[in-house]
Amino acid sequence: MKVRGPIFFSVIAGVVALGMYLPSVFPPVDNAEKEAVLMQTMLSGLEQLHFSPVVLDDDFSKRAYDLYVERIDAGRRWLTQEDVDILSKFKLEIDNQAEKGTYEFFDLSEKILNSGIKKAEGFYKDLLAQPFDFSKDELIELKGDKKEYAKDDAQLKDYWRKSLKYDVMGRYFDKIKDQEKLEEGEEKKTEEVLEEEARTAVLEMYEDVFERLSKLRRSDRLSDYLNAITNVYDPHTGYFAPKDKENFDISMSGALEGIGARLQTDGDYTKVTEIVPGGPAWKGKELEANDLITEVTQEDEDPVNVTGFRIDDVVKLIRGKKGTVVKLTVKKVDGALEVISITRDLVVTSESYAKSVILDYPGTAENVGYINLPRFYADFNRKGGRSCSVDVAKEIEKLNEQNVESIILDLRNNGGGSLRDVVRMSGLFIEEGPIVQVKGRERAAEVLEDHDNRVQYDGKLIVMVNQFSASASEILAAALQDYGRAVIVGSKSTFGKGTVQRFIDLDRAIRGYNEVKPLGSIKLTIQKFYRVNGGSTQLKGVESDIVLPDRYHYIEVGEKDHDFPMEWNKIDEVDYSQSVASLDGMESWKEASAKRIQEDKTFQLILENAQRLKDSREDTDYSLNYENYAAEMKALEEEGKKYEDMFPEIEGLEIKNMEVDIEYINEDESRVARNEEWMKSLKKDVYIKEVLSILKDMDDPKYAKE
């Protein structure tokens, strides 16, 4: 059945609205009919509304096939090479089936996958029934895409043997370590008992895994298939079944009641995408963006392996009553596993607001205003709601009253937000002019401008960024860089997300025919951002004027780390200029900073650690001989200690609240505590120390001209 032709989508007054005409007589609906309508409606929306629609051809089919097959068995746990060979016969057919609204390839994949899961269910119980031989010399490869598919069922079972042995060995190692901490006279268990306990724990874990797998519905797997199709368009375009849309909303809001982190599904794992300012995870400083959550442990309970869990199930485990503790076992970017304890609490929303202090670093830079902006917030729901551009303007006004010599605007880890506020905030530092270009598909770029010719701050300005400065943060940094108004300091480049997405309710695409609803939603990319110089912020991000190394210095993170990101491109630039300040001397400032970094012990440790993380990420095979495994783990722990306290307090750096803020802070004990905690973290921030040194260079007459 082909229904794509009669479907039309339109954009009215900037709001995406959908309409769909179907034949007056619709066949009796069963699951196949509903799925056909779903595919046709989704593809029509993508074809007509996506910024850069993809041609449905053999190349598209190959990409969708590769994404889907990799995702359904990223760990090489279910499929053999024979299974993949059968599926590969459809590699060039996905486009044809999608256009017809049929699912032959998906139906076959579901059958083969279910068969593989059934086989594995028999493997694990058998393999965990007897002790493992920890004296045998063998290796396990932990990175799925480095492993070949098992050639047959016998090799697949051996893959499972190694995987289970590794799981048991890890728990056994932890139990041995815990026992070594027992006081003299306390009863110790034999190694045989500890090994059996470890096996039992792994057995129970996989019983839970397979119980959960048994409850998966066809619609769950169908979402995976449809997302393999949508993600060929770009990584931010996706299909959301009705339940998945609810899960998305939970991950964007409800999860904040637990630990204050935004999560998303990443293959078999749940990935931390953002730490929310003011939340428990943010206070703890241990959980980080890009961490993969492998286990969740409640107080006094055994850990629950959440590999393969739906995101809403993970969220339910993480959320809990205020004051209770949840432990997360996470895989870091270097592959190391860490257990992080977080006390659940409500997010303190005030920590997301702009705030400022005065920095004094005698002999380097004094009376410097520092503004921290964790996100670009705006409350559109009520009159007089808070706006980050208004708040930053107020902070600047307070700093101007202190006659600050310079201002540092810190956008590190700022994932973006209100576009309107980006334009207004950029305008605080220039007379007036264009800030960003927003372009829809086949439309002329819309230029968003600052029309206020006032300059609220005309002094030296540095904007701090890192790899997690995204979207709105990148627009502001790009505008001030293009104008030559601010020095951008930080990671080699920002995140590189220069696109805009909108949710489209597919049910609104069908007039009547309630029998096929609900269909769900699609989130699709409809616009791209462009700098005033014409270049996109997509993929490349904003390259820092002065680069400071961090732990990701040698690792690709951000938009470029995704499959099929939209390309960087350029459109016409617009006229822009400012006469507020000059950045003559940039090359000299770069050279001076590079020399300091080379001589700074902390930055050299950061670079060492960055190289260690890169090497560890690439070295993904581990010994299954216990003595070798234990030696490797202890060596990693010992090596890690070198980098635990890399950031000593910066001697001589003074941080002061402004008098106008002190009364407000002292009104509440919790505010006092949070302020003190913030001050302590700033005192150890080596990046701020280097920025203050750059400000000194900017004042030095010998660097005034190139």
The per-residue pLDDT for range 398-423, each reduced to its tens digit, is: 999 999 999 999 999 998 888 999 99
**Could you give the number of structural domains in the chain?**
3
Mean pLDDT of 455-463: 97
User: Which of 343, 377, 400 lies at the terminal end of a domain, its last residue?
Assistant: 343
Instruction: Assign 13 a pLDDT band (cuts: 50, 70, 90).
Output: very low
Query: Which residue(s) pair with 305 in the sheet?
Result: 295
309, with CB counted inside 10 A (0-12, 13-18, 19+), is buried
Confirm whether 247 is domain-assigned: no
pLDDT of 100 above 70: yes
Residues 529 and 560 placed together within one structural domain of the fold: yes
Q: Is 627 inside any structural domain?
A: no
Burial label for 462, CB within 10 Å (0-12, 13-18, 19+), is buried
Active site annotation includes 482: yes
Question: Is 471 annotated as catalytic?
Answer: yes
Q: Are residues 323 and 387 in the same domain?
A: no
For residue 245, being part of any structural domain is answered with no
Tokens coding 412: 């590190």
Question: pLDDT tens digit string along 662-675?
Answer: 999 999 888 898 89
| Residue 16 forms part of a structural domain | no
DSSP state at residue 277:
T
The tokens describing 452, both together, are 């206020």
Three-state helix/strand/coil letters over 129-177: CCCCCCCCCCEEECCHHHCCCECCHHHHHHHHHHHHHHHHHHHHHHHHH
Residue 357, beta-bridge partner list:
370
Mean pLDDT of 17-46: 65
Statement to judge: residues 423 and 553 lie in one domain: yes
In a domain? residue 262: yes
The answer to whether residue 491 is catalytic is no
**What confidence score (pLDDT) does residue 245 get?**
54
* Mean pLDDT of the region 273-298: 83
Range of the domain at 129: 54-230
What pLDDT score does 281 carry?
85
pLDDT on residue 271: 86
Average pLDDT over residues 213-218: 88
Same domain, 338 and 367: no
Return d(Cα 692, Cα 698) in angstroms, integer: 10
pLDDT tens figures, 174-206: 899 988 888 877 888 999 999 999 999 999 989
User: Of the residues 315, 343, 371, which one is the last residue of a structural domain?
Assistant: 343
Q: Are residues 365 and 293 in the same domain?
A: no
User: Average pLDDT in the 525-536 region?
Assistant: 97
- For residue 679, what pLDDT band results from cuts at 50, 70 and 90? very high
Cβ proximity of 406 and 431 under 8 Å: no
Is residue 292 scored above 70 in pLDDT? yes
302 with 366, same domain: the answer is: no
Give the residue from 343, 364, 387 where a domain finishes. Answer: 343
Spot the catalytic one: 165, 398, 439, 497. 497
The Cβ of residue 597 has, within 10 Å, a number of other Cβ atoms equal to 20
CB 377 within 8 A of CB 416: no
- Token pair belonging to 646: 């890399």
336 and 357 together in one domain: no
Cα dihedral 392, 395, 397, 398, rounded to 10, equals 180
Using only C-alpha atoms, the chain has a radius of gyration, in whole angstroms, of 28
Span 442-452, average pLDDT: 95
The pLDDT tens digits of the residues spanning 120-175 come to 999 999 999 999 999 999 999 988 889 999 999 999 999 999 999 999 999 999 89
> Do residues 103 and 199 share a domain?
yes
Pick the catalytic residue from 471, 491, 536, 693: 471
Q: Are 562 and 498 in contact (CB under 8 A)?
A: no
Given a cut of 90, whether residue 523 has pLDDT beyond it is yes
With respect to residue 677, please indicate whether it lies within any of the assigned structural domains: yes
Residue 190's pLDDT is 92
Which pLDDT belongs to residue 242? 81
pLDDT at 382: 65
Token duo for residue 153: 């069922």
pLDDT tens per residue, range 597-630 = 999 999 999 999 999 989 888 888 999 999 999 9
Active-site residue (options: 167, 268, 482, 550): 482
Exposed e or buried b per residue across 500-519, where buried means at least 16 C-beta atoms within 10 angstroms of its C-beta:
bbeebbbbebbeeeeebeeb
Q: How confident is the model at residue 474 (pLDDT cuts 50, 70, 90)?
A: very high
Q: Kindly indicate the confidence band of residue 12, based on its pLDDT and cuts at 50, 70 and 90.
A: very low
pLDDT digits (tens, 9 = 90+) for 542-571: 999 999 999 999 998 899 989 999 999 999
Distance CA 116, CA 150 (A): 12
CATH number assigned to the domain comprising residue 445: 3.90.226.10
CATH value at residue 263: 2.30.42.10
pLDDT at 384: 66
Q: Omega of the bond prior to 518 within 30 degrees of 0, cis? A: yes
- The whole-number pLDDT of residue 347 equals 66
Same domain, 418 and 312: no
State the pLDDT confidence band at 258, using cuts at 50, 70 and 90: low
Determine, yes or no, domain membership for 379: yes
Residues 436 and 485 in one domain: yes
Is 172 domain-assigned? yes
In this structure, the answer to whether residues 558 and 680 fall within a common structural domain is yes
Helices (H) and strands (E) in the chain, counts: 20, 22
Tally of CA atoms within 13 A in the half-sphere of 471 that contains its CB? 18
Beta strand pairing call for 269-275 and 292-298: antiparallel
Q: Please state the rounded mean pLDDT for residues 95-112.
A: 96
621-647 as b/e, with b when 16 or more CB fall inside 10 Å?
ebbbbbeebbeebeeeeeeeeeeeebb
Taking CA 280 as the corner, what is the angle to CA 279 and CA 281, rounded to the nearest 5 degrees? 95
Q: What is the mean pLDDT of the chain?
A: 88
Note whether 84 and 224 are same-domain residues: yes
The answer to whether residue 451 scores a pLDDT higher than 50 is: yes
